[in-house]
Amino acid sequence: MKTMQRHHWTAIGFLFGALILAGIAARDFLRMRTPDLIIPSDGLSRTGLLSEYAPDLAGTNGDTPYYLYDSRNPGPTMLVLGGTHPNEPAGFIATVVMVENLRVAQGRVFVIPQACLSGFSATEPLEGYPERFSVPTSSGERIFRFGSRGANPLDHWPDPLVYLHRPSGQQLSGNETRNLNRSYPGRSDGSIMERVANGIMRLLETERVTLAFDLHEAAPEIPIINAIVVHEKARDLGGMAVLNLEFEGLQYALEISPQNFRGLSHREWGDGHAVLPILMETSNPIQGRLRGPTDVDLILRGVDIRYQTALEVGRMRISYDAEGESLAKRVGRHLAGISAVVSAYNEMYPDSPLMLEGLPAYTELLSQGVGAFLKPPPPVQP
Amino acid sequence: MLYWIYVVIAGIVLALVFRELVRERQWRLQLALAIIVIPLLLRILQVK
């Protein structure tokens, strides 16, 4: 029988230490799977799962909840997606504010706050992102997850070297396989993001959606910032909305979806269905390459000294407000954009308007903050 | 299917690392091998 030598004892010690570190890390990783609390308004008609439209999604981390607000008065149907990229919190929080405040007087509204639900369970490697952030409300803090741009690698591993978009054959970097906004129109037997994309396309078709929004954010140095991107058939609608927003003192660039860039919501939704697709972007410093400390404060206040310096130097084109790009401002821009597009739609189609109520105005969000329009968390049971 | 092939590969690599950790006599190299165990274990256990 071999006797234990000194190096065996050190091996056991190091292994034990590794297991303790793995356990600590595992606890944090597993906490990211806890669902975010969303408290719907009284106007909610029903909630359900995307797998109702795409049964292949059932039981997967792509099966995300939807919230339906049905006025029961005839009118158009609208879909709003947040969380297509879970590291773009203004899109997600704007839809949470909608779910918690919306009432619909005419027509119907579907809201999907976490379109890429899988991506909320992991952060982006090497970016140093916080795993969650909290928003103060009138009574306690609401905590939300800050995820990754794409699906959790546990739901799709390994990434291919080259992502082949179907059916176009377009080739992109392999990690775009996990990007929902490169996966449309999707497939029922494809990757998890293709299946989610297929579910959203089925929802658009089944519910005869007329207007559809996809809410995003991007780094201040990306050219398409503070922009409304529309499919060419929604060009007039987008133009009217941008003019309405100008009257409110909000500047948005109107961009037309490129016809040869495939897999994006504003291209494939419009090509595949009768829907008018609109994607909106705000300026989010935490995604930028110039950013400094990457913490919760940068998500909430959006103040970064390096972007302030870049703004003063003026040697590069950035969309950065000297007072910061706060979450309230970014959420306010998304909601103002949706309201402006709906107003423009109602001007174009006055016989069948969509009437929304309860959404906070841009100025209200700026003055009172996002937390004023989120329901307080339920008290913790002793 | 490819996913589970990669999980099996990670399991084999973990076994090899564990074997080297037990055989290695220099503590610094043992420490490095123990650190390598962490991500492999988390991936095999479907945690990260």
Q: How far apart are CA A237 and CA A347, in angstroms?
A: 9
Nearest by CB to A29, from B3, B30, B47: name it.
Answer: B47
CB contact under 8 A, B21 and A11: yes
Contact A146, A124 (CB under 8 A): no
* Averaged pLDDT in 10-residue chunks for chain A of 382 residues: 85 97 96 97 98 97 98 98 98 98 98 98 94 95 97 95 97 97 97 98 98 97 94 97 96 96 98 97 96 96 95 88 95 98 97 98 97 93 63
Report the phi/psi class of residue A231: left, alpha or beta, with left for phi > 0 and alpha for psi in -120 to 50: beta
Has residue B35 got a pLDDT over 60?
yes
- In this prediction, residues B10-33 reach a mean pLDDT of 96
Has residue B14 got a pLDDT over 70?
yes
A148: which DSSP letter? -
In degrees rounded to 5, what are phi and psi of residue A187?
-145, 150
> Residue A283: beta bridge partners?
A218
CB contact under 8 A, B27 and A30: no
Nearest by CB to A22, from B3, B27, B41: name it.
Answer: B41
Q: How far is CA A193 from CA A92, A161, A245, in A?
A: 18, 17, 33
SS3 A56: helix
pLDDT at A1: 56
Q: What is the pTM of this model?
A: 0.95
Q: Tell me how many degrees the CA angle A215-A218-A220 measures, rounded to the nearest 5.
A: 135
pLDDT at A379: 85
- The answer for residues whose C-beta is within 8 angstroms of residue A253's C-beta and 6 or more apart is A224, A226, A227, A228, A242
Contact A234, A284 (CB under 8 A): no
CB contact under 8 A, B47 and A30: yes
Nearest by CB to A29, from B6, B21, B48: name it.
Answer: B48
Structure tokens at A232: 């060419």
Comparing alpha-carbon positions, the chain A residue that sits nearest to B24 is: A7
pLDDT at A382: 63
In degrees rounded to 5, what are phi and psi of residue A253?
-90, 140
Contact A114, A36 (CB under 8 A): yes
Q: How far apart are CA A196 and CA A51, in angstroms?
A: 9
pLDDT at A352: 95
Report the phi/psi class of residue A62: left, alpha or beta, with left for phi > 0 and alpha for psi in -120 to 50: alpha
Q: How far is CA A130 from CA A133, A261, A281, A298, A301, in A?
A: 7, 32, 22, 10, 14
Chain B residues closer than 8 Å to A26 by CB = 42, 45, 47-48
Is B20 in the A-facing interface, judged by CB distances under 8 Å? no
pLDDT at A381: 63
Instruction: Please provide the size of chain A in residues.
Output: 382
